[in-house]
Amino acid sequence: MKAKKALKRLNKIEELLSDVIDQFPKSTDGLGELLDSAKAAVGRAKTAVNSQNSPRAAKKQPARAATARQGRLSAEGRTRISAAAKKRWAVAKRKGMNAVTGRPLSKSA
């Protein structure tokens, strides 16, 4: 169990114990003392979990890529793609085909 989750549960247990201790009469057969010792044990457990958690080193952040603009086209790349598309369209037009669908162009007079 992770330390943060354990601390949350121990805090909840400590709250419940203090509620029971407040509502329970202390003079009844030593049960008040028993509940006090249980609350003290929960407090010791919390300090033990805190002491285990503190010396742990922080995780390193993952290394960032060298270029921040990954996946975007440069202006030069955009012009190259445009020129290549125009060439394909010209070839398709010479063959009498639609450049996008690849179907023959309809001959309308």
Structure tokens at 68: 């921040």
User: ∠88-90-96 over CA atoms, to 5°?
Assistant: 105
Question: Would you state the pLDDT for residue 31?
Answer: 79
> What is the pLDDT tens value at each position of the chain, 109 positions in all?
788 888 899 999 999 988 888 887 766 677 778 888 888 999 999 888 888 766 556 678 887 766 665 678 899 999 999 999 999 999 988 888 888 888 888 766 5
The residues pairing with 97 across neighbouring beta strands, listed in sequence order, are: 104
State the distance between the two ends of the chain, measured CA to CA, in whole angstroms.
80
CB 90 within 8 A of CB 99: no
pTM of the model: 0.45
- 50 CA to centre of own chain: 24
Structure tokens at 29: 């057969």
Structure tokens at 104: 């023959």
